[in-house]
Chains A and B, each alone.
Chain A
Amino acid sequence: MIKRFAVILLLLGIGAIFTGLMVNYVPDKALNVTARYYAEQTAPDLGAANIVTAIIVTYRGLDTLGEVTVLFLTAAIVGLVLARGSSDEAPARRDLPPPGELLLTGTRLLLPLILLFGAYVFTHGHLTPGGGFQGGAIIASGMLLMLLSHPLRRFGHRLIAIVESIAGLAFVGIGVLGIALAGGFLDNRILPLGTFGELFSAGAIPIIYTFVGLKVGAEFSSMLVNLSETEDL
């Protein structure tokens, strides 16, 4: 009882701080210096229509590389933590109820569309609200659908690992090419900027985001596969 009381007291304190923050919050009337620079310079400098993508892939591209690395580490640790548990004993196959006609047919119908949509989202990251992370998550959701409809099927960890490694290496390789051919690491101007607003524009941004999408999709898929394979205990 006293514990619950302490928790409520603590939350009331934090809530008071939040209320103070919100009451005194005045929204900006104009863009601040950083945001104005991005809004003005993105189109002439990088040729990308989506300013958020330009920030993530080019202006702060190094941070994105770090983010992808964190995601890779997470997937690796999830694999490590879960793999040890299942190697102790031979996987005893449970008898699962069949997934059902609706799920099976739905998967067969939807899976290609989901994969296509994921690829669309990550190749159009410089034009539309989307990009590698979103597209990768969509592809992983297709993977989840496949895992749900065939819960006992084993997926090739090797294929996922190969896609992930190649995408990661290509991401870093394009970044290094930027040092050699353009202004610096992960500079997108190693390719011509093209016509503003078309698919083949914005230099290397669509290519980098495609690799990011493949890598994120592979990492999320490996997490899902690892988590689902623990079920046969």
Chain B
Amino acid sequence: MDLIAMATGFLLILIGLFGALTNRNILRMIVAFAVANTGVNLVLVSVGYMTGRTAPILDSAVPVAEATARVIDPVPQALVLTAIVIGVGVTALMLAYAYRLFKTRGTLDISRYTDLKW
């Protein structure tokens, strides 16, 4: 039961990959990639989790002296904060490119874009 967050994260990655590989509409693929991205973040955060410990914020509940015994690993959290922000940037870029593609070709169906197909 401890691993429920990690299992959810892996499941989200699989769902996202499935959506990205089976959908033909570019917008749906972008949404699927966002889902997979969320799954990766969830897995990363769950790696830093330790049962029975609390958030890495020191206050009256977690005195400085007891910090090493009471807080969870802060490094994955910092990493995921970065990953979320970069994920937003990647999604925005994909949306902008999808808009340009639609404007030039008039379709969002990926199977109509055969330029790089061999």
Residues of chain A whose beta carbon lies under 8 Å from any beta carbon of chain B: 4, 7, 10-11, 14-15, 18-19, 21-22, 25, 27-32, 34-36, 38-40, 42-44, 49-52, 55-56, 60, 63-64, 67, 70-71, 74-75, 77-78, 81-82, 85, 127-129, 131, 133, 137, 196-197, 216, 220, 223, 226-227, 230, 233
Interface residues in B1-31 (C-beta closer than 8 Å to A): 2-3, 6-7, 10, 13-14, 17-18, 21-22
Q: Contacts of B110 on A, CB cut-off 8 Å?
A: none
Is the pair A10, B21 in contact by a Cβ cutoff of 8 Å? yes
Shortest Cβ gap from A125 to chain B (Å)? 11
Contacts A22-B6, A27-B49, A82-B99 known; A43 to B81 CB distance under 8 Å?
Answer: no
A85 to B96, CA, bound (A): 11
Contacts A7-B18, A49-B59 known; A39 to B71 CB distance under 8 Å?
Answer: yes
Is the pair A85, B75 in contact by a Cβ cutoff of 8 Å? no
Shortest Cβ gap from A3 to chain B (Å)? 8
Is the pair B96, A55 in contact by a Cβ cutoff of 8 Å? no
Is the pair B75, A55 in contact by a Cβ cutoff of 8 Å? yes
- Chain B, residue nearest A7 (CB): B21
